[in-house]
C-alpha cells in the first residue's frame, strides 16, 4: 500500500506500479516540492521525468514491479526506485545516461531516455546491485538547494524571539526583529513569505505595524499572524478589519504554532492556484483556433478541459487551396510559465503557417517547427509534443507526429486501432526529419486525436479492462457528437483532469460517398 512520510523524506514506499499510482504520485510530488520553492519549470521537469520513467518501467518490465520514491536531503536529490528490469539489461553499457544514449539504440528502446535526459540533464542511473541490501534500480535527480519559506518575527521581548526561533529553525528561515522600525526597513529590501508579530509593543503596536506593512507595495499581501495574550471581541474586530490571517495565543505552543503557519501558507498557496487556474482558462480559450464543423465530407469536433492547474494544450488550423492544416500540440508544463510558452508557440505557429508555401507537406512543417523551437531563446527551454494533420478535399488524411500520442481509428462497432505514426520531440535535434502516414476513413469510421491528458486520466490502451471500456464508449458514440461527447464521458468516469486534456474527432458519416 502506498504511504507518504514527508518528515522522513520517504514519499512512496515500495508499491506495485500502476497507471493510477503514477498519476497520484505525480500529483503528490508537486505538492511536496511546492514548500521548498523549487522553481516552477524545474518542478514540471521533475514531475514529467517521474511520469516518463515509471510509465516505461510499467510498460517494459516482464512481470509485476514495485516502485518507490525518496527525497534525500544531503545532498538534495529525488531518488526514483524500481524493482524491475534494469535499463542495463537491454544493453551491455555503463549505467550512465550519456553512454546509453550514445549508442543510438536506446533512443528507440521505448524507455524514454532521450526525454528524461532533456528534462533532467544531471540525472544519474544506478543499476540494482547484486547485494540483497540494494535490490532496486535508481534514477537519481539532483534538486536545487532547499529554499525554505522566509518568516519575519517581530516582538520586543528578546527571550520570546529566541523561543520562536528555536521552534521554527528546522523548517523555516527566520529573521528576528525586536525593533518594528528595523523590520519595516527590512521588508522594503527583502522578500518574505509570512510575518508573525506581537500585538503589545511599546513604540509601534501590532495593529499600527500591520497598517504600515500594507503601505509597502511588495509586502501588502503577505500573510500576517498575531501573537497575543488576549482575544477580546474588540481585538478580534480590529484584527478582522486589518485582514489578519490568524492568531497564536501566548504562551506559544510549538505544535500549534507550526500547524497555524502551515495552514496559513497552504491557504495562501491555494488562493494563488485558484487565481492562476482562472487565468489559465482564459488563456487556454485564446489558444484555440476554431476548427470548421465540416471539411471534404468529414465532420470535425474538438473539445478541451483545462486542469485545475493548467497545462498547455493548443489547436491551430489553417485553410489552404485544396486542404486544411490542423496542428494539435501539448507544451509539457504547468502554471503561468507553461501557458506563457504555449502562447508564444501559438504565435510562432501562426506566423510560420502564414509564411509557408502552400505546397509544404506535414513533415516539412513539423521539421520547420522543430528547428524553430530548437533555435529560439524563448521556446528552446520547452518540451512539447505535436501532431500535424492535413485533410485533403478528396478524403485523404496525412499525419506527422513529433513525440505525440498515436491517434486511433474507431470503427462503427466500437473497435479501434492505433495509427502507427511517430517521431522525435520537436527541438531535440538539428535537422530533425519526420515520416508521414496517410489514410482514408470508410463510412462510419472516426479518427480520434488527443493530448496525453487523456492517457493520464487512465484511458491507456495497455490493459484489457481499458480496451473494453473504450470500446463500450465508442459503440455508444452518438452520430455528430465526437470529441465533446467522449470528453464528457471520460471526465464522468475518471474525475477532474490533472492536466489539460484535448480531443479532436474527424468522422466520416455512414452513408457518405
> How sure is the predictor about 470, in pLDDT bands with cuts at 50, 70 and 90?
low
Which are the contacts of 267, defined by CB distance < 8 A and separation ≥ 6? 223, 245
Return the higher-pLDDT residue of 407 and 98: 407
Residue ranges, CATH 3.60.40.10, the chain: 287-507
Instruction: Identify which of 168, 166, 120 has the alpha carbon closest to the alpha carbon of residue 144.
Output: 120
Percent share of the chain, pLDDT over 90 = 15
pLDDT tens-digit profile of 222-246?
A: 888 888 876 666 666 665 555 667 7
The pLDDT of 19-43, averaged and rounded, is 77
Which grid cell is 144?
536545487
Q: Are 350 and 316 in contact (CB under 8 A)?
A: yes
pLDDT tens-digit profile of 274-315?
A: 666 666 556 555 556 678 889 988 989 888 776 644 457 788
pLDDT value, residue 343: 58
- 419 DSSP assignment: -
Answer yes or no: is pLDDT of 176 > 80: yes
The pLDDT of 452-471, averaged and rounded, is 54
Which are the contacts of 337, defined by CB distance < 8 A and separation ≥ 6? 40, 41, 44
Q: What is the pTM of this model?
A: 0.52
pLDDT tens-digit profile of 358-404?
A: 678 999 989 988 888 888 766 666 778 889 999 998 899 999 999 89
Return the higher-pLDDT residue of 3 and 77: 77
- 3-state DSSP assignment of residue 199: coil
- 151 DSSP assignment: E
Buried b (16+ CB within 10 A) or exposed e, 410-442: bbeeeebeebebbbbbbbbeeebebebbeeebe
Answer yes or no: is pLDDT of 105 > 50: no
- 3-state DSSP assignment of residue 149: coil
The pLDDT of 195-201, averaged and rounded, is 89
pLDDT value, residue 102: 44
Fold designation for 150-276: Rossmann fold (3.40.50)
Mean pLDDT rounded to a whole number for the chain = 76
The pLDDT of 343-353, averaged and rounded, is 63
CATH of domain 10-142: 3.30.565.10
pLDDT value, residue 371: 85
The pLDDT of 62-88, averaged and rounded, is 79
**351: part of which helix (H) or strand (E)?**
helix 335-355
pLDDT value, residue 401: 94
Return the higher-pLDDT residue of 362 and 40: 362
Answer yes or no: is pLDDT of 175 > 80: yes
- 288 DSSP assignment: B
The pLDDT of 26-47, averaged and rounded, is 75
Ranking 73-77, 107-111, 381-385 by mean pLDDT, the lowest is 107-111
pLDDT value, residue 326: 92
Buried b (16+ CB within 10 A) or exposed e, 80-102: bbbbbbebbeeeeeebebeebbe
The pLDDT of 98-102, averaged and rounded, is 45
Do β-strands 194-198 and 224-228 pair in parallel, antiparallel, or remain unpaired? parallel
Answer yes or no: is pLDDT of 252 > 60: yes
CATH 2.102.10.10 for domain 287-507: no
Answer yes or no: is pLDDT of 439 > 70: yes
Instruction: Identify which of 450, 345, 348, 346 has the alpha carbon closest to the alpha carbon of residue 404.
Output: 450
Task: Of 244-258, 268-282, 342-356, give the range with the top mean pLDDT.
Answer: 244-258
**Positive/negative CA dihedral, 89, 92, 96, 98:** negative
The pLDDT of 26-42, averaged and rounded, is 73
Residue ranges, CATH 3.40.50.2300, the chain: 150-276
pLDDT value, residue 465: 42
- 106 DSSP assignment: G
pLDDT value, residue 1: 34
Residue ranges, CATH 3.30.565.10, the chain: 10-142
pLDDT value, residue 244: 64
The C-alpha atoms of residue 267 and residue 245 are separated, in whole angstroms, by 9
**Positive/negative CA dihedral, 123, 127, 132, 135:** positive
Q: Are 304 and 505 in contact (CB under 8 A)?
A: no
Q: Are 186 and 177 in contact (CB under 8 A)?
A: yes
Q: Are 494 and 458 in contact (CB under 8 A)?
A: yes
Q: Are 247 and 228 in contact (CB under 8 A)?
A: yes
Query: Which phi and psi angles does 425 have, rounded to 5°?
Result: -60, 140
Amino acid at each position: 500500500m502506498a504511504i507518504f512520510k514527508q518528515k522522513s523524506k520517504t514519499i512512496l514506499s515500495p508499491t506495485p506500479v500502476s497507471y493510477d499510482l503514477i498519476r497520484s504520485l505525480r500529483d503528490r510530488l508537486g505538492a511536496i516540492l511546492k514548500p521548498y520553492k523549487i522553481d516552477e519549470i524545474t518542478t514540471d521537469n521533475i514531475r514529467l521525468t517521474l511520469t516518463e520513467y515509471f510509465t516505461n518501467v510499467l510498460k517494459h518490465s516482464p512481470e509485476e514491479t514495485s516502485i518507490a520514491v525518496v527525497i534525500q536531503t544531503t545532498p538534495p536529490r529525488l531518488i526514483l526506485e524500481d524493482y524491475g528490469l534494469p535499463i542495463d539489461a537491454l544493453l551491455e553499457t555503463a549505467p550512465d545516461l550519456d553512454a546509453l544514449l550514445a549508442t543510438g539504440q536506446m533512443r528507440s528502446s521505448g524507455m524514454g531516455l532521450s526525454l528524461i535526459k532533456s528534462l533532467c540533464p544531471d540525472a544519474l542511473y544506478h543499476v540494482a546491485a547484486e547485494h540483497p541490501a540494494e535490490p532496486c534500480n535508481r534514477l537519481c535527480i539532483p534538486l536545487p538547494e532547499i529554499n525554505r519559506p522566509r518568516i519575519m518575527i517581530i516582538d520586543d521581548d528578546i527571550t520570546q524571539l529566541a523561543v520562536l526561533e528555536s521552534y521554527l529553525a528546522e523548517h523555516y528561515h527566520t529573521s528576528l526583529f525586536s525593533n518594528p522600525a528595523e523590520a519595516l526597513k527590512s521588508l522594503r529590501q527583502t522578500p518574505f513569505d509570512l510575518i508573525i508579530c506581537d500585538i503589545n509593543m511599546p513604540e509601534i503596536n501590532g495593529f499600527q505595524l500591520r497598517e504600515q506593512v500594507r503601505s509597502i507595495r511588495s509586502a501588502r499581501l503577505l500573510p500576517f499572524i498575531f501573537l497575543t495574550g488576549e482575544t477580546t471581541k474588540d481585538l478580534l474586530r480590529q484584527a478582522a478589519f486589518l485582514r489578519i490571517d490568524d492568531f497564536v495565543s501566548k504562551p506559544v505552543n510549538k505544535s500549534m504554532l507550526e500547524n497555524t503557519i502551515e495552514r496559513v501558507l497552504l491557504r495562501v498557496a491555494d488562493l494563488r492556484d485558484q487565481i492562476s487556474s482562472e487565468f489559465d482558462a482564459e488563456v487556454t480559450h485564446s489558444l484555440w483556433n476554431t476548427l470548421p464543423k465540416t471539411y471534404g465530407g468529414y465532420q470535425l469536433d474538438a473539445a478541451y478541459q483545462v486542469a485545475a492547474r493548467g497545462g498547455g494544450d493548443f489547436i491551430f488550423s489553417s485553410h489552404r487551396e485544396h486542404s486544411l492544416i490542423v496542428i494539435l500540440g501539448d507544451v509539457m508544463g504547468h502554471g503561468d510559465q507553461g501557458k506563457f510558452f504555449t502562447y508564444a508557440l501559438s504565435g510562432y505557429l501562426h506566423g510560420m503557417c502564414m509564411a509557408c508555401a502552400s505546397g509544404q507537406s506535414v513533415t516539412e512543417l513539423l521539421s520547420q517547427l522543430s528547428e524553430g523551437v530548437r533555435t529560439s531563446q524563448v521556446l528552446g527551454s520547452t518540451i512539447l509534443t505535436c501532431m500535424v494533420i492535413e485533410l485533403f478535399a478528396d478524403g485523404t488524411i496525412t499525419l506527422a507526429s513529433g513525440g505525440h500520442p498515436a491517434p486511433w481509428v474507431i470503427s462503427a462497432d466500437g473497435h479501434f486501432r492505433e495509427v502507427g505514426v511517430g517521431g522525435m520531440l520537436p527541438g531535440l535535434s538539428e535537422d530533425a526529419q519526420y515520416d508521414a502516414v496517410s489514410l482514408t476513413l470508410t463510412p462510419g469510421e472516426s479518427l480520434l486525436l488527443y493530448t496525453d491528458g487523456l492517457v493520464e486520466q487512465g484511458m491507456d490502451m495497455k490493459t484489457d479492462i481499458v480496451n473494453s471500456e473504450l470500446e463500450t464508449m465508442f459503440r455508444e458514440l452518438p452520430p455528430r457528437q465526437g470529441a465533446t461527447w467522449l470528453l464528457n464521458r471520460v471526465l464522468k468516469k475518471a474525475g477532474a483532469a490533472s492536466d489539460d486534456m484535448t480531443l479532436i474527432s474527424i468522422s466520416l458519416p455512414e452513408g457518405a460517398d
